Structure 1
């Protein structure tokens, strides 16, 4: 029986899904996603922000730099900005270098449209011996309607491999597609539910493994967060996310520091 306000909530959710799927098909035809920006996908940044080609940290006699590797989707690839040096990973590298006083040698392994499965089989095998390994994907899994079981299987496998390839692993949630101004209302509403479910599962998997998890799916967004495509972060959006990711990495590195002598 319908309530005075319409069908029960469970029925309303089921009725929304066909509409959301139709809107997702429309979005695929009409939303013009920002491409991956040009520029080098690896380099070295000094604590003062000076950027150099990969390998330059050793050449300058600054000692072994911290090695930062990132694997993931378009958030790692930098879609939404004009050049790679404005993207998320170089920003994180600059912040980690400034806060630790060490050179950071960074590299990205990512593609627009990548799911966690692609990270598992394509990008993660390209990484070895990282001091910091950043894992960031999930939005494309949501848009592709991959099941929670598929998601957890792939994330488990990626983290299994990541802890063998990186001294410290930091994982990140999907972004906030449910707030994307490029998507229609019903699709955003359904994406919010799916994002909540995926984020909860990811946080639990990371907690069991002791992997720091950065939830960018539920934080407040700063002014000017969205790029021109209404789907990816702008430079301001990446700067906001970089603060959160870098803080988690610096905290992880601090655990390596010896206890002070008293």
Structure 2
């Protein structure tokens, strides 16, 4: 039954493409785009479709510039931000593709991937190896690292109940391992998979 449901979802459910728009910029507390500055906070986000802004109409409406604006508001400083992401990315792609793209001296590095690893049924040993390597590289490139768990894809109205339960079971195991790996390196971890989000029909992109 699980295989049948998974096959149906693979054929009928598709993520929206990544929108057009700039994947980097610099923004001040007033919400204005400014010129590069050596005093600006360097904020970099790396990951999957959530970082790639799948679901909105332009990159400027995505998660990375939104977080950059919040950081600017909280610190009173300009924030120079950039996004490194691709639809469907696993932590292995983050490890072997995106981490090589990053420069050093990043002030805050935000990592968000994992849902695609679960959907691809990658095993926990592979997840441990890839996330461990990414965290070690990130620690050499950024002053602060922030890691987010898988998203709540299991709550999608397009995913049947039995398959949803299996996805959540796999996310639970992935989340627990991720917490341990981050804690051992004193890296902050956000459990988005179990956050009490108010999800209704308007939450989901078309």
Normalising by structure 1, we get a TM-score of 0.75
Provide the rounded CA distance (Å) in 1 between the counterparts of 2:83 and 2:6: 29
Q: Is residue 2:171 matched to residue 1:208? A: no
SS at match of 2:143: strand
Q: Could you say which residue in structure 1 is the equivalent of 2:110?
A: 134
Q: CA deviation at 1:21?
A: 2.7
Provide the rounded CA distance (Å) in 2 between the counterparts of 1:125 and 1:182: 35
Q: Is residue 2:132 matched to residue 1:153? A: no
Provide the rounded CA distance (Å) in 2 between the counterparts of 1:32 and 1:202: 27
Provide the rounded CA distance (Å) in 2 between the counterparts of 1:107 and 1:24: 34
Equivalent residues of 1:24, 1:143 under 8 A apart: no
Q: Could you say which residue in structure 2 is the equivalent of 1:101?
A: 76
Provide the rounded CA distance (Å) in 1 between the counterparts of 2:152 and 2:2: 16
Provide the rounded CA distance (Å) in 1 between the counterparts of 2:6 and 2:106: 37
**Equivalent residue in structure 1 for 2:6, among 7, 24, 28:** 24
Q: How many matched pairs?
A: 203
Provide the rounded CA distance (Å) in 2 between the counterparts of 1:208 and 1:81: 36
Q: CA deviation at 1:164?
A: 0.6
Equivalent residues of 1:42, 1:106 under 8 A apart: yes
Q: Is residue 2:116 matched to residue 1:113? A: no
Normalising by structure 2, we get a TM-score of 0.95
Cα deviation 1:37-61 (Å, max 9, x = unaligned): 1100000010111124xxx132xxx
Equivalent residues of 1:57, 1:103 under 8 A apart: no
Provide the rounded CA distance (Å) in 1 between the counterparts of 2:76 and 2:148: 24
Unaligned runs of 5+ in 2: none
Unaligned runs of 5+ in 1: 1-18, 229-262
**Equivalent residue in structure 2 for 1:36, among 5, 18, 31:** 18
Q: Is residue 2:203 matched to residue 1:225? A: yes
Q: Is residue 2:173 matched to residue 1:197? A: yes
Cα deviation 1:226-245 (Å, max 9, x = unaligned): 212xxxxxxxxxxxxxxxxx
Q: CA deviation at 1:214?
A: 0.8
RMSD: 1.1
Greater helix proportion: 1
**Equivalent residue in structure 2 for 1:88, among 63, 69, 74:** 63
SS at match of 2:87: coil
Q: Is residue 2:155 matched to residue 1:176? A: no
